[in-house]
Structure 1
Amino acid sequence: MTIRLPGAGGRLRTYEPRTAPLAVAPGTPFTSRTVFSAAHVVADPYADVSPDAPAAVDWDATLAFRRHLWSHGLGVAEAMDTAQRGMGLHWAGAAELIRRSAAEAKAVGGPIACGAGTDQITGGTLAGIRAAYEEQLAVVEDAGAQAIVMASRALAATATGPEDYLEIYGHLLRQSAEPVVLHWLGPMFDPALEGYWGAADLDAATDTFLEVIAAHPDKVDGVKVSLLDARRETDLRRRLPHGVRCYTGDDFHYPELIAGDEQGFSHALLGIFDPLGPLAAEAVRVLDTGDVTGFRALLDPTVELSRHLFQPPTRYYKTGVVLLAWLAGHQSHFAMVGGLQSARSLPHLARAYELADALGLFPDPRLAEERMKTLLSLYGVDQ
């Protein structure tokens, strides 16, 4: 069987899908790295909602996908940007997602950490931003999950300099019940976060970020760095206080950052591990044995797919992630909250299918082929 896919310039080309998936089975817990997959949400395709209305979520399918990740030993990073926080999923929906996923994690014994931000407001005073953070932090802690303190659009818009970040984050860390993960999300993921930590210069921003951590090392489990800059992440990792972990959020360089070097390594909290879940888990188990070469042999070939999904404008990577979840049979449709399924072109989606199929990511390659052909037919591509 073959499938005709659109490529650059609108020309069709013939691709022959593989006939068998990569054989990966659930295995033992990881021993050398802590690994979280940021997880997408499944929209309710039958809900009569407008793009600006609160998201309608298919809770059964959303939670089933999290059980899939847990079954392979991955932790779930919940209510992050992969779940369309600020791009279709409003705070009320995120709070419900946190409560439901945390309860499910407790039931199955799965690791979970949840994002706490300020997306219930769009701006205001520092006092209002602090209160918004406190509200969300309370929801996460009350649910029994670890908190990931997310970057705040409102703080980026309101802060006048590094001292405002030091004050807000210092307050939150002093009152947090348990150590948190601090998330530095770069502007390639969210343009509203340009100049975060009070400076457009990344060296100055890094100094402020490290100052926050140094003042409260007992309240910081780790940092998630999403700047797509391997050298900068490595330099930051080497400057962290002892005991504070670095969770890579670099979807371009994750194999080398997780593998590490003679001076250390990064743990992982990645959106690309949503579609790569079983393969990523297998790679980490190989790394647990000390086989860095085997780890890289499994994970390095996935980087082309990741770079494709996360190409600029990077924030629309969620569209490719959800496409692959549909093709893999994790949900019954290709619809997204906020109508974001329209955010990438057909050639982009076709290339994502081709790269994922070549990696063996689809449990049922024939189903993936049939679904891709259905999508192509809606665009007028005859087979």
Structure 2
Amino acid sequence: MALEVAVIGAGSFGTALAQVLADKGCLVDLYARRAEQIVEINENHTNARYLPDVMLHADIRASSDLQHVVHNKKYVILVMPSSAFRDTVRAMRPFLHPEALVAHATKGFDVETGQRMSQVMEEELPSHASTKFAVVTGPSHAEELSQRIPTTIVAASRSRATAEAFQDLLMTSYFRIYTNPDVVGTELGGALKNIIALGVGFTDGLGYGDNAKAALMTRGLSEISRLGVHLGAAQLTFGGLAGVGDLIVTCTSKHSRNWRAGYALGQGKTLDEVLTEMGMVVEGVRATKGAYQIALKTGIDMPITTAMYHVLFEGKEPRAAVEELMGRRRIHEMEEVAEALRMDWEM
């Protein structure tokens, strides 16, 4: 008998994961809200708004009935925008099997509290052990995954058994899953890289070159790591798929919504214009607000995030923000290393 799996969220990545699971022989109940989208998936086996030119497996069944989608499922995977995450988790709580393993693939922060998604899950599902939670993240554009182009990601959980369960569930000949115990680091890497991708898009839109892109990505990774370690993440996580891997793909790919949004902003469009034209969630915008508040609260220096916040929410001109970044006080390239080694340089 085929394993039944619930995927909550019929956007691009949720649909791509549903396709992976169907390829594995699972029967996939895919939660969607729009009636026309449900009809399209069930009758035409397409989801053209999010994954044009992709034919979906017949074993993917879309529904707006959350109880039906979640009921009695051993595995539930949450793939929705951060703004809808808490309400969706709360709504599915009465229907969730006590032994269900729950993973999320949402790269962002809770809008109101700044919490990571696993923290929201722990808060909204108090009777469910946190060892049954996982995060699925890494460099994985849905457009490529849905076409079965080789992709690698990370399944992170406090429980090795839970991480390996999702590894086994999702692994295919084209989709390789690694495990990691660092939930904090993998979540932060996935959320914060979107901010840097917006910044890289800015510089490209302003007409700057590869030098500026390399600088932003490298220094962006530095501030991601700095905040992550302060919040309890492992430094090595940011050198892996959930860190530098996801940063590379989001900052350099034509599929990246965050890069495209930054590019349009760099060319002079307003944030409202960009979001309206894209018609899809750009998580980096919300992540910038959340990360900026976390930086203020913790006192961690995050100059790129701060510059992005000023551009997005305070009307600062992008070129002026870049010039301010370049004109910051001189520092060591790797401040923590220089301090730790107490380098005795010749003067």
**TM (normalized to structure 1)?**
0.28
Larger RCO: 1 or 2 (CA < 8 Å, sep 6+) = 1
